[in-house]
A and B are shown apart, each in its own frame.
Chain A
Amino acid sequence: MALEIAGLSVLADGRKVVGDVSLSVGPGRVTAILGANGAGKSELVLAVAGMLPVTAGAVRVDGLDITGRGPDAIRKAGVAAVPEGHRVLTRLSVEDNLRAAGSLQPAGLAAALADTYALFPELAERRQQLAGTLSGGQQQMVALGHALMARPKYILIDEMSLGLAPLIVKRLMGVVADLTARNVGVILIEQFTELALGIADEALVLRNGRTHFNGTAAELKARPDLLDAAYLAFDPATAAGGAQRTREQDNA
């Protein structure tokens, strides 16, 4: 029982943006993916959601292979992604946004809607408001709501706190905790590492589309030098290794 990503490679704009990345997340667990901008985190999320072509590797959800399926099939299989940048259907009302996202399973629509509103009472108050006129934080709630309407077993959240006020971020982190309490597995991509590592069980650090670290969150917290290397400081050992790897990739 897990969402497993095995040896995934992703192509975007004719360029290999993710190479041979593996990770998994179990029900009720949180895996954080960290790394500088352009490290391939967003592309990884989009590929798992079926929006970018996978060139190698597999995605399995509870043993079922969903690699290369359409986005709607992947949602139905229980995996929902929240893309970066609190994207909503701007010219639809909040309620229509949620209903559209839930239209895949019309039978459970009303229940899913009630559930989402229970989680985000702020949205219930604004159900008739156009989503384009919401604040960034509220839009992020709608975006999370899009995913929740599909009643996912696993959820991937890309840059949840990007551009949001600290108070909202705390609020959303609470929601993530709620989700894990309901046994939903969460893959969390965050630029605020401290925040992500505070809630994550496992962590993965990407650099140039490749795995730089894969282990427990506690381990990573104990070794800040690993993160520094991925974001900031110059680390000759990894640089040389990275070059080696990219050569191989070019030759392949």
Chain B
Amino acid sequence: MTQTKTFNWLLYLVLMAAIVAALGWDKPGKILGLFFVSGLAVGSLYALGGIGMVVLYRATGVLNFANGAAGAAGAMTAWQLVEWGLWPPLAWLACIGLAVAILLGYGRLIAPRLAWREPVVKAVATLGFALIILGVVSYLWIDDPRKLSLPTDKIGIQLLGLRVTATRLIVFLASLGIVAGIYLYLTRTLVGLQMRSLANNRSLSALIGIPILRVETIAWGISGVIAGFTGLMFGDLIRLEPTVITFMVIPSIAAAVCGRLENLALVLLGGLSMGVIESLLTLSPVLKGARPIAPFVIAAIVLLWYQRGTRLTFDSKD
């Protein structure tokens, strides 16, 4: 068991090194470093999205396609509030608050009506919700180049001879922090214990008296906070456009798949690797066009790798 684990890690390291080497062989170290750092930042966003989804999925059984849409709604609102002259920190809080409100609303009003349906049906329903949010947000903020900037964009920090903006650093640290925080929450608190119990066996948890509705509400809230934060950062670092932020959910799912919708550390690693590879692809004139799809390919390969030998199944449905 441990032997295969070590082998898997080695394989991963060798592959990553090979990809980095292949893409950045003839580039100066500094350029490579810059792209690497920007990739880590983007990857952190993917990972954050994935982590929010996995936390929710484990506790409630819902793979939430509306994660990105909630973040998009939050980010656009924050931009609007700043435009109207609101004190920016309040606008950022409003962004997170709105995302939480949107997801909590779904979690309390719609999700319970689908509680005993198959995972696919639950996921499809959130897709409908995502479309509604996306439609409303796109209607309210018609296509127009916008910019959401945080004060941290202007603060640069010298790291190993590279200038890194504080926003990127914050995003990266936040992804690490959130993984650690959620790990502690799950292992150290009673509600966290109840979440793990639900993730392990839903019907038995109900039988032994876990208050399912309450625990699920908390899970929706947590995923809302992460979605809002991710949306805000995505709006700042990449693009402030509802459709783009909404469909960030797809690389997030890819990251979540890397962790088998279960292991947060692997989700983080998967997200970061995707971000880095995607960013380094920009250096290659041939593969440049394939950049946006890199997460798909990586996730598909990872999925097929997991699948080798055994069956991947959901719960006891099979």
Contact = CB atoms under 8 A, between A and B. Distances in A.
A89 B198 CA distance: 9
Q: How large is the interface on A (under 10, 10 to 19, 20 to 34, 35 or more residues)?
A: 20 to 34
A71 B207 contact: yes
Interface in B197-218: 197, 200-201, 203-212
Given A99-B193, A100-B193, A100-B197, A89 B204 contact: yes
Contacts of B206: 51, 71-72
Contacts of B205: 89, 100
A212 interface: no
Nearest to A132: B200
B200 A91 contact: yes
B190 interface: yes
A51 B205 CA distance: 11
Interface of B: 190, 193-194, 196-197, 200-201, 203-212
Contacts of B207: 49, 51, 71, 81, 83
Given A87-B204, A91-B196, A103-B194, 13 more contacts: A49-B207, A51-B203, A83-B204, A89-B196, A90-B201, A91-B200, A92-B193, A96-B193, A100-B194, A100-B197, A100-B208, A103-B190, A146-B208
B201 A104 contact: no
A90 B208 contact: no
Contact of B210 (A81, A83, A103): A103
Given A51-B203, A92-B200, A75 B208 contact: yes
A166 B224 CA distance: 52
Interface string A88-107: 11111000100111011010
Nearest to A83: B207
Contact of A92 (B190, B196, B211, B212): B196
Interface of A: 49, 51, 71-72, 75-76, 80-81, 83, 87-92, 96, 99-101, 103-104, 106, 146-147, 149-150
A96 B209 contact: no
A126 B203 CA distance: 25
Contacts of A104: 209-211
Contacts of B197: 89, 92, 96, 100
Nearest to B203: A51
A51 B203 CA distance: 8
5 contacts: A72-B209, A72-B210, A89-B204, A96-B196, A101-B209
A71 B203 CA distance: 10
Nearest to B214: A72
B75 to A, nearest CB: 36
Nearest to A96: B193
Contacts of B209: 71-72, 75-76, 80, 101, 103-104, 150
B210 A106 contact: no
A103 B211 CA distance: 9
